[in-house]
Structure 1
Amino acid sequence: MTAKEYLNRVRRQYYVVKRAEEELTAIKADILSLKASSMTEHVSGTKESDLADKYIRLERYFDTVTAEWDKLIDMRIEAKAMIRTLPDETQQAVLYARYINCGRWEDIAAGMNYSWKHIFRLHGKALQSFAAIHQSALDN
């Protein structure tokens, strides 16, 4: 695996978590609208148990989101430790901004007061340094 592939795993996991959180929010909203509609209807039946079942399923989905968060936190801790071993602090900052904070290139360039071109050059050098230092970990 390359340094970029390794670091992109962290970035992708962030988006997995965000999508799962968005789905969880949508499911909560759907359940709340079901609850509101069931309160206005006075029909006998199993509406209460159906709603309880949905809450149980929501809890299971919440557990899934929590597991994805745990995975992201573990990945970030490992990647941060590896990034900190780079001797150049500017290269560390570029990798941290891109892969840990999931920054966009234009935001990273503006935040560091560099041109895009220079950020890409720094990024390339940072990946080379990262790969040289952590080659054995990347090979596993």
Structure 2
Amino acid sequence: MNAKEFLMRGINLERRVETIKEQIEHYKALVNDCSVTYSDSPKSTASNYKLEECTQKIMDLQEELCSAMADLVDVTCEIGKAIQKLDNYDYQDLLVNRYVLGKTWEKIAEDMNYGIRNVHRLHGEALREIKIFS
């Protein structure tokens, strides 16, 4: 694993966490859209089964979300420790902003008061300096 792959693990896990959250919200909306109608006709167990099935999917996704978030915290801490070992504070700021906080290149350039090309140059230098232990 190279330095960039090591650092990208956090961004990839964060994207996974957001996808799971969206899935949970989607299923919750479907469950909430179910309405109860009362009539004299016999109950349908099929609709209850579907509701239970959907609720179980939500619970399964919530477990998956907790696991993904725990992984994200672990990976982000590991990435942060590797970044802190750099002697150059500009490299540290750039890598934390990009790989821990998930900022765009444009926002990083603005925050650091650099041009975008300079940020990309610094990024390449920082990647060559960072030491990873895989």
Shared fold by TM > 0.5? Answer: yes
Matches within 5 A, 1:1-140: 1-34=1-34, 36=35, 39-40=36-37, 42=39, 44-46=43-45, 47-130=47-130, 133-134=131-132, 137=133, 140=134
Q: Is the 8 A contact 2:109 2:119 kept in 1?
A: yes
Q: Is the 8 A contact 2:27 2:54 kept in 1?
A: no
- Aligned identity (percent) is 27
Deviations 1:36-88 (A, max 9, x none): 2xx13545121345423422231111101111111111100111011100001
Equivalent-residue separation in structure 1 for 2:113 and 2:38 (angstroms): 60
Equivalent-residue separation in structure 2 for 1:83 and 1:33 (angstroms): 47
Q: Is the 8 A contact 2:11 2:102 kept in 1?
A: yes
Deviations 1:83-128 (A, max 9, x none): 1000011100100111111111111111111100111111111111
Structure-1-length-normalised TM-score = 0.86
Equivalent-residue separation in structure 2 for 1:41 and 1:116 (angstroms): 63
Question: By how many angstroms is 1:27 displaced?
Answer: 0.9
Unmatched segments (≥5 aa) in structure 2: none
Q: Is the 8 A contact 2:4 2:127 kept in 1?
A: yes
Structure-2-length-normalised TM-score = 0.89
Count of matched residue pairs: 131
Equivalent-residue separation in structure 2 for 1:105 and 1:53 (angstroms): 43
Equivalent-residue separation in structure 2 for 1:101 and 1:11 (angstroms): 9
Letter matched to residue 98 of structure 1: R
Question: By how many angstroms is 1:20 displaced?
Answer: 1.1
Unmatched segments (≥5 aa) in structure 1: none
Q: Is the 8 A contact 2:95 2:123 kept in 1?
A: yes
TM-aligned CA distance change 1:68 to 1:41, over 3 Å:
farther
